[in-house]
Amino acid sequence: MAEEAILRYLEKNEQISDSGNFAAELGLDHNDVVNAIKSLHGFRYVDAQDIKRETWVLTDEGRKYAAEGSPEVQLFLAVPLEGSIPKDELQKKLAPAVFKIGCSQAGKNRWVEMGKQISRKVQHVEDKVKDLLLWVQDGHAIEKDDINSLKARKLIVQQTWKGYSVSKGPNYAPKRKKVATDLTRENLQSVNMASLFTVLVMVVLFAFHDPMVWLLILQMIFYSGVGDWKELEFKEYNFNAKGQPAEGGHLHPLLKVRKQLKDIFLQMGFEEMPTNNFVESSFWNFDVLFQPQQHPARDSHDTFFLEEPSTTRELPEAYVELVKRVHESGGYGSRGYGYDWKREEANKNLLRTHTTAVSSRMLKALAEKPFAPKKYFSIDRVFRNEAVDRTHLAEFHQIEGLVCDRGLTLGDLIGVLHDFFARLGMSKLRFKPAYNPYTEPSMEIFSYHEGLGKWVEIGNSGMFRPEMLLPMGFPEDVRVIAWGLSLERPTMILYGIDNIRDLFGHKVDLGLIKRNPICRLGMD
Ligand code: FB9
């Protein structure tokens, strides 16, 4: 529509000086004209130059008063010709904004007597504001001070009008040739009626005399009549066009960070522990770790105990005896807790509260073999019956590392922590004494996070107690240093996610998953 109009107009006119006036004259929508100009310009049918013009357009409020009259006139008309009207009564008759602005403007124009009673001071008024707004709306220019007063009343705003002046381009043609985006079999085979007709005429006129003419004519039919590709215009290949984004799977940010942590552990020579059992017995989750049975973490306020199966089927009896004894009366240099240890408590099934439950099983298994140093790690879900808040859900992924070897010291633990966290880009560490039932000494780990500009608690650590290791059967001088942190916290910080519920769980928006490139750990 707009295209034909432009090409037809340029057939008779040198140029279209202003696409805006052109559109207005032909009653076309200027946007359609602009799109047509852009497309014709793309195929060099026309040459187009930008022309800009600062224009004034009405704001929503301006459009309202242009339609309904200015507030001061609406107010004036609501005041009785004779006598007066109580202010609050007049207020009821008009919209709050109209009444407020109407009063100030009509007052300023000394059209009305403002007071408890409002009365007219003049018989008749002109709605100059409305007229000006309509004038501007139709694209006409108005006086500078009118512009300023309407602008001051936020009834008009300046807008840059963008249009084009257009002239014939190198490929100008009164009619646009069909643009082909692909060369199809039809294009190659379709017979062009016009040229076919011409040839037929020639046959009739000349063929009877000489068979060679036949051949020639046939060739001409073949080459000129067949295939309308000659007439077609082929769209340029836009080699910069972005291809269809390849839809593919996306790793959840948690899994991206887990992969990086796994790689770090493997690079440090750690072996992954099998964590494929969310359900654990209290024995391996707590008792083996020398966590006393009346410890607050062992009640249902912190731990999810199972209803069915509520108790574990079997425990290694001989080892249970040793654990019972160390809890009740100590040994190995410990005086134990001195309470009455209950088997039924240890039998209770629960959702593991930490992957340290897996460490206890793996260490027990290790202790049953001739001693060899070992470095283990685990990254998997743990469950805690905690209040859900911005950074805590009832389940999270715990990352745990442990080194089991003879004569290990706290210094070795600090050394391994420095090595481990340095690979996560956290080199400035501080350690704060802490308490865990199963490690002594224990330390909370802090790192100075440049991005956040503060010290962040990045984990916990300690040396497993002899009351845990010796009943397992480890030689006296074997020590196990261990540490733990969560997967969610680093992932939230790396991906700038403020609320854990946006990261994990049914509320996660997949967009976040798709949009989030891999954040390289270690790059502050
Ligand atoms: O992950 C935690 N913080 C953290 C870790 C990394 C990180 O990286 C950023 C990119 C820079 C940022 C923050 N924390 C541990 C510390 C806190 O968030 C803490 O408030 C919450 N903790 C969880 C438990 O909450 C009850 C995080 C979780 C945690 C705590 C302790 C252990 C494991 C996970 C442990 C242990 C342990 C100790 C000794 C021996 C064996 C295991």
124, 130, 134, 140: CA torsion to nearest 10: 90
Would the pLDDT of 193 be above 70?
A: no
Residue 372: predicted pLDDT: 97
pLDDT per residue as tens digits for the range 33-47:
999 999 898 888 999
Largest CA distance in the chain: 128
Ligand 1 pocket check for 482: Cβ under 6 Å:
yes
Amino acid identity of residue 26, one-letter, is: L
Whether residue 524 has pLDDT greater than 60:
no
pLDDT of residue 199: 67
Q: How far is ligand 1, taken at its centre, from the CA of residue 72, in Å?
A: 66
What confidence score (pLDDT) does residue 497 get?
85
Report whether 61 contacts 133 (CB < 8 A): no
Q: What per-residue confidence (pLDDT) applies to 250?
A: 84
Degrees to nearest 5, angle at CA 367 with 371 and 280: 150
Listed residue (368, 346, 393, 354) closest to 482, CA to CA:
354
Q: Tell me, in angstroms, the distance from the centre of ligand 1 to residue 399's CA.
A: 8
pLDDT in tens, 218-241: 666 665 556 677 777 777 788 888
pLDDT, position 212: 72
* CA 491 to centroid of chain Cα atoms: 15
CA of 494, closest atom in ligand 1:
10
| Residue 348: predicted pLDDT | 97
Average pLDDT along the chain: 89
Q: Using the predicted structure, report yes or no on whether residue 330 has a pLDDT greater than 90.
A: yes
Question: How far does the chain reach from its first CA to its final CA, in angstroms?
Answer: 57
The whole model's pTM is what? 0.62
Does the beta carbon of 488 sit less than 6 angstroms from any atom of ligand 1? no
Tell me which of 126 and 250 has the higher pLDDT: 126
Looking at ligand 1, which residue's alpha carbon is closest to its atom 12?
Answer: 490
Radius of gyration of the chain (CA): 43
Compute how many other C-beta atoms are within 10 angstroms of the C-beta atom of residue 522.
14
The CA angle 110-111-117, to the nearest 5 degrees, is 100
The predicted pLDDT at position 237 comes to 82
Q: Residue 184 has which token pair? A: 């199809």
Mutate to test the pocket of ligand 1, among 452, 486, 487, 493 (most ligand atoms within 8 A of CB): 486
- The protein residue whose alpha carbon is closest to atom 2 in ligand 1 is 458
Beta bridge partners of 152: none
**For residue 78, how many C-alpha atoms fall within 13 Å in the half-sphere facing its CB?**
24
Instruction: Indicate the residue type of 401.
Output: G
What is the SS3 assignment for 444? strand
For residue 486 and ligand 1, the question of a CB distance below 6 A is answered with yes
Q: How confident is the model at residue 452 (pLDDT cuts 50, 70, 90)?
A: confident
**Per-residue confidence at 445, pLDDT binned at 50, 70, 90?**
very high
Q: Of the candidates 281, 289, 290, which has an alpha carbon nearest to the alpha carbon of residue 313?
A: 281
> Ligand 1 pocket, 437 CB below 6 A?
no
What local confidence, expressed as pLDDT, does residue 257 receive? 93
Q: What distance in Å separates the CA atoms of residue 458 and residue 485, rounded to the nearest whole number?
A: 6
Domains of the chain: 185-230 (no CATH), 253-275+354-515 (3.30.930.10)
- State pLDDT tens for residues 133-171: 998 888 888 899 999 999 999 999 998 888 999 999 988
Nearest to 326 by CA among 467, 464, 454, 203: 467
Residues in the chain, overall count: 524
